[in-house]
Chain A
Amino acid sequence: MENLERILAAHPFFAGLDGEFCTLACGCAKNARFDAGQFICHEGDSADQFFLVREGRVALQVSAPGRGASTFLTLGPGEVFGVNWLVPPYRWTYDAKAIAPTRAISMDAACLRNKCEANHSLGYDVMKRLMPVLVERLHTARVQMLDLYGARG
Chain B
Amino acid sequence: MSERSIFREEGLQALIEALSRRGFRVIGPTIGDGAIIYDDVEALGDLPRGYTDEQEAGRYRLARRDDAALFGYAVGPQSWKRFLHQPLLRLWRAERKGQDVIVEAEPPATEKLAFLGVRACELHAIEIQDRVLIGGDYVDPHYESKREGAFIVAVNCGTAGGTCFCVSMNTGPRATRGFDLALTELTLEGGNGFLVEVGSPAGAELLAELPSRPASREEMDDGDAVVARTAASMGRAMPAEDIHALLMRNLDHERWDEVAQRCLSCANCTMVCPTCFCTSVEDHNDLSGAESSRTRRWDSCFTMDYSYIHGGSVRPGVASRYRQWMTHKLSTWFDQFGTSGCVGCGRCITWCPVGIDITEETRAISDSEKLLGAADGKS
Contacts and interface: CB of A to CB of B under 8 A. Distances in A.
Are A and B direct contacts in the complex by CB distance below 8 Å?
yes
Contacts of A153: 311
Interface string A128-152: 0000000000000000000000011
Size class of the contact patch on chain B: under 10
Q: Which 4 A-B pairs rank lowest in CB-CB distance, beginning with the nearest?
A: A152-B311, A151-B311, A152-B312, A153-B311
Nearest to B311: A152
A94 B349 CA distance: 62
Interface in B298-338: 310-312
Nearest to B310: A152
Interface of B: 310-312
5 contacts: A151-B311, A152-B310, A152-B311, A152-B312, A153-B311
A152 B311 CA distance: 5
Contacts, number: 5
Contacts of A151: 311
A151 B310 CA distance: 9
A97 to B, nearest CB: 35
Contacts of B312: 152
A144 B236 CA distance: 52
User: Interface majority SS on B: helix, strand, loop or mixed?
Assistant: loop
Contacts of B311: 151-153
A152 B314 CA distance: 12
A153 B310 CA distance: 8
A123 B87 CA distance: 71
A151 B309 CA distance: 12
Contacts of A152: 310-312
Contacts of B310: 152
A153 to B, nearest CB: 7
A151 B312 CA distance: 11
B39 to A, nearest CB: 47
A153 B312 CA distance: 10
A103 to B, nearest CB: 44
A24 B312 CA distance: 56
A6 B310 CA distance: 53
Interface string A6-23: 000000000000000000
Interface string A74-109: 000000000000000000000000000000000000
A153 B309 CA distance: 10
A2 B312 CA distance: 60
A151 to B, nearest CB: 7
A152 B310 CA distance: 7
A152 to B, nearest CB: 4
B272 to A, nearest CB: 35
B140 to A, nearest CB: 34
A95 to B, nearest CB: 34
A65 to B, nearest CB: 31
A113 B9 CA distance: 101
A64 B311 CA distance: 29
A1 to B, nearest CB: 57
Nearest to A153: B311
B304 to A, nearest CB: 16
A28 to B, nearest CB: 49
Nearest to B312: A152
A14 B310 CA distance: 45
A88 B10 CA distance: 99
Nearest to A150: B311
A46 B332 CA distance: 60
A153 B311 CA distance: 7
A152 B309 CA distance: 9
A116 to B, nearest CB: 44
A152 B312 CA distance: 8
Nearest to A151: B311
A108 to B, nearest CB: 49
B108 to A, nearest CB: 41
